[in-house]
Structure 1
Amino acid sequence: MKTVQRSLLAAGAALTVLAVAGGAVRADGPNDHAARAQDLIMANDFDEARKELGRGRVDDPAIALERARLSLYEADCDGALVVLSSPDVAKTEQGAMLADIARGCARITAATVLDEDRDQGVWIRYQDENDRALTPLIVDTVVKARDALTRDLGATWPKPTRIVVVRDLLSLSAMTGLPYESAQTTGTVAVAKWGRVTLLSPRASMHGYAWRDTMAHELTHLAVTRSTIDRAPLWLQEGVAKREEVRWREPGPFDDRPSPDAIAARGIELKLDLPLDKLGPSIAMLPSADAALVAFSEVTSFVRYFATNTPPGTLERLFAALREGKEPDAALEVASSANLKQWDTRWRAYLASKPKETLPARLSLGKERPNLRDIRERVRLAELLVGRDHPAEALTELDRLQAPAGKPPAANGGPPVDDPSYRYLRGRVLLALGGEGRTKEAEVLFQEPKEVLASYGPWWAVRGVLARVRGDGSSAETSFAEAVATDPFDLEAACEVLDAPPSASTPASTGLSAPPVTSKDPNPLCQTARAWKVPALGQD
Structure 2
Amino acid sequence: YVHYLLFVKSENTVPVWLHEGIAKYEEKRWREKDIEVISPFYETILSEALNKNELVPIEKMHPSLAMLDSARQAQLAFAQSSTMIDYLVETWGQEALIQLIDTMRRTNNYRSAIEDVTGLEFSVFYHSWEKDLRSKNLEEKIPGVKVEGAKLKNNNKKSPDGSEDLIDIDNNKARDYTRLGDLLKQRGHLNPASYEYEKAHTLDPYSPIISSRLAHTLNSMGEREKAREILYPVLDFYPNHLDIHLILGKIYLEEGNFNKALDEYLEAVYINPYNPEVHASLIIVYDKLKKPELKEKQQRFLRLLLGEETENGKQ
Q: Deviations over 1:230-268 (max 9, x none)?
A: 545555444323322332334799963236455345335
Supply the distance in 2 between the matched residues of 1:326 and 1:496 (Cα, whole angstroms).
45
Q: Secondary structure at the match of 1:442?
A: helix
Identify which of 349, 352, 374 aligns with 2:131. 349
Post-superposition offset of 1:338: 1.2
Supply the distance in 1 between the matched residues of 2:172 and 2:255 (Cα, whole angstroms).
38
Q: Secondary structure at the match of 1:347?
A: helix
> Using a 3 Å threshold, how does the CA distance of structure 1 residues 480 and 283 change in structure 2: closer, same or farther?
same
Counterpart in the other structure of 1:428: 216
Counterpart in the other structure of 2:246: 461
Supply the distance in 1 between the matched residues of 2:33 and 2:93 (Cα, whole angstroms).
23
Counterpart in the other structure of 1:222: 8
Instruction: Check whether the contact 2:174–2:201 (CA below 8 A) recurs between aligned residues.
Output: no
Question: Is 1:294 aligned to 2:76, yes or no?
Answer: yes
Decide which structure has greater helix share.
Answer: 2
Question: Is 1:386 aligned to 2:162, yes or no?
Answer: no
Structure 1 residue identity aligned to 2:264 = S
Decide which structure has greater strand share.
Answer: 1
Post-superposition offset of 1:310: 1.7
Question: Is 1:284 aligned to 2:66, yes or no?
Answer: yes
Counterpart in the other structure of 1:416: 205
> Using a 3 Å threshold, how does the CA distance of structure 1 residues 222 and 402 change in structure 2: closer, same or farther?
same
Instruction: Check whether the contact 1:420–1:459 (CA below 8 A) recurs between aligned residues.
Output: yes
Q: CA RMSD in A?
A: 4.1
Post-superposition offset of 1:375: 1.0
Q: Secondary structure at the match of 2:145?
A: helix
Q: Give matches, 1:437-452, under 5 Å.
A: 438-446=223-231, 450-452=235-237
Supply the distance in 2 between the matched residues of 1:329 and 1:462 (Cα, whole angstroms).
44
Identity %: 23
> Using a 3 Å threshold, how does the CA distance of structure 1 residues 375 and 253 change in structure 2: closer, same or farther?
farther
Q: Deviations over 1:114-159 (max 9, x none)?
A: xxxxxxxxxxxxxxxxxxxxxxxxxxxxxxxxxxxxxxxxxxxxxx
TM-score by length of 1: 0.42
Gaps of 5+ in 1: 1-214, 404-413, 498-521, 530-540
> Using a 3 Å threshold, how does the CA distance of structure 1 residues 458 and 490 change in structure 2: closer, same or farther?
farther
Q: Secondary structure at the match of 2:92?
A: coil
Instruction: Check whether the contact 2:169–2:175 (CA below 8 A) recurs between aligned residues.
Output: no
Instruction: Check whether the contact 2:60–2:67 (CA below 8 A) recurs between aligned residues.
Output: no
Supply the distance in 2 between the matched residues of 1:377 and 1:487 (Cα, whole angstroms).
32
Instruction: Check whether the contact 1:260–1:297 (CA below 8 A) recurs between aligned residues.
Output: yes
Counterpart in the other structure of 2:26: 244
Post-superposition offset of 1:440: 2.9
Supply the distance in 2 between the matched residues of 1:254 and 1:312 (Cα, whole angstroms).
15
Post-superposition offset of 1:308: 0.9
Post-superposition offset of 1:343: 0.9
> Using a 3 Å threshold, how does the CA distance of structure 1 residues 465 and 494 change in structure 2: closer, same or farther?
same
Q: Secondary structure at the match of 1:479?
A: helix
Supply the distance in 2 between the matched residues of 1:253 and 1:469 (Cα, whole angstroms).
33
Post-superposition offset of 1:459: 2.9
Counterpart in the other structure of 2:145: 362
Structure 1 residue identity aligned to 2:171 = L
Instruction: Check whether the contact 1:239–1:299 (CA below 8 A) recurs between aligned residues.
Output: yes
Structure 1 residue identity aligned to 2:23 = A
Post-superposition offset of 1:342: 0.9
Structure 1 residue identity aligned to 2:248 = R
Instruction: Check whether the contact 1:238–1:296 (CA below 8 A) recurs between aligned residues.
Output: yes
> Using a 3 Å threshold, how does the CA distance of structure 1 residues 353 and 399 change in structure 2: closer, same or farther?
same
Counterpart in the other structure of 1:533: none
Instruction: Check whether the contact 1:261–1:351 (CA below 8 A) recurs between aligned residues.
Output: no
Post-superposition offset of 1:345: 1.6
Supply the distance in 2 between the matched residues of 1:336 and 1:318 (Cα, whole angstroms).
9
> Using a 3 Å threshold, how does the CA distance of structure 1 residues 525 and 362 change in structure 2: closer, same or farther?
farther
Structure 2 residue identity aligned to 1:415 = D
Q: Give matches, 1:100-119, under 5 Å.
A: none
Supply the distance in 1 between the matched residues of 2:168 and 2:103 (Cα, whole angstroms).
47
Instruction: Check whether the contact 2:28–2:35 (CA below 8 A) recurs between aligned residues.
Output: no
Q: Secondary structure at the match of 1:363?
A: coil
Counterpart in the other structure of 1:376: 175
Supply the distance in 1 between the matched residues of 2:35 and 2:136 (Cα, whole angstroms).
22
Q: Deviations over 1:389-440 (max 9, x none)?
A: 332222332343454xxxxxxxxxx1224x3333332223323333xxx333
Post-superposition offset of 1:467: 1.8
